[in-house]
A = this chain, B = another copy of it.
């Protein structure tokens, strides 16, 4: 008789792997032995083409020196933006890969408010969003003399848009994995005369996104989570093509100038998405990301979504009998409102359970207070991986292994 977890047999998950249309992607990643990695929502795994791509760029630096800037380095932010565009439902010329999310939100706040003629000028940040989105809105508001407000977590957005010029919202919440309906929310915000900047950090590469189809005008996101660009890979910024002639963004550097090599004294923004560039970017990190995005061009996003939901459901199904008896609360949203993660809360033991799992090579992560996050990345996880990870989870909890003192030591957590 096959091994089974809460009635889910190993045989059955192996059968699912046999039929998985995305199964072949796993061999295109360089994955360490003996690790079950459920933290691709923090840092994605390494595509196996990255090493060569980075090495090629190092050789280019060595051999071509300054000439490298005319051989693909300079145009990388737009070229990679065009590679990424289909993955998020955008068109060529609407996406620029540049800087980080924090800085890109600042640019868009300045760009939008610089065009705002009326008295509604407040910036609204989402309570419970990833903190940097609020921090940079606060920084923007301080320097520009703009009012800043927080939308209380769980509040009705429509009731908080009075006097608001811009609201920054995450499509998928980093803690709960809760997915917002982008089309519906965008329509609501626009109907109130405000703009929305979408943060796609936890949705880009995790599920199909239709920026154009949702009426979205502005978005930012990162490439080092589900998009596998490497630690600290550059972020992206999207502006719908009809909203690209709005003047300055405040982080006006020479790469965003309409003629960077004319060396004019005064700044004139580029007429297109390039205006959101700032200063000189690293050629090296663009080459790593380009290797990954080239692979993403082959991914069927609907198949990705189906596998993502099936994996997160499988993980919970293998464990659901355990949750109540051990005081673990499953706050994972329903499928239609879910990103690509499972979120479990155990305020007393969550930290130690995650540490005990890491010691076994099952990598999830922990966020205060009490939140255990497990990310499901359909390109390099198999159904059997998910089942094996659930088996470890069950063993750690049932055996009380997490009670060992070593798993309660608090260190830096990323």
> Residues of A with Cβ closer than 8 Å to B?
30-32, 35, 37, 39, 42-43, 45-46, 50-51, 54-55, 58, 61-70, 73-74, 99-103, 106, 110, 114, 127, 130-132, 134-136, 138-140, 142-145, 150, 222, 224, 230-235, 248-254, 256-257, 261-267, 278-285, 288, 363, 365, 367-368, 411-414
Chain B residue contacts of A257, Cβ below 8 A: 131, 135
Q: Which of B66, B99, B102 contacts A39 (CB 8 A)?
A: B66
A43-B62 in contact (CB<8A): no
Contact of A100 with B280 in the complex, beta carbons under 8 Å: yes
A232 to chain B, nearest CB (A): 4
Given contacts A32-B62, A131-B263, A232-B284, 15 further A-B contacts (CB under 8 A): A43-B68, A45-B62, A46-B62, A55-B55, A69-B231, A69-B412, A74-B414, A101-B279, A106-B251, A132-B253, A135-B267, A231-B282, A232-B282, A261-B413, A282-B285
Contacts of A413 in B (CB 8 A): 261
Chain A to chain B contacts (Cβ below 8 Å), 22 pairs: A43-B65, A54-B284, A55-B55, A66-B365, A69-B414, A73-B232, A102-B278, A103-B251, A114-B142, A131-B263, A131-B265, A132-B254, A136-B252, A139-B249, A143-B144, A144-B145, A145-B145, A224-B280, A230-B282, A231-B283, A232-B282, A261-B414
Interface centre among A142, A150, A280 (most CB of B within 10 A): A280
Query: Which listed residue (B136, B139, B233, B414) contacts A70, Cβ 8 A?
Result: B414
Min CB gap A150→B, angstroms: 7
B231/A100 in contact, CB under 8 A: no
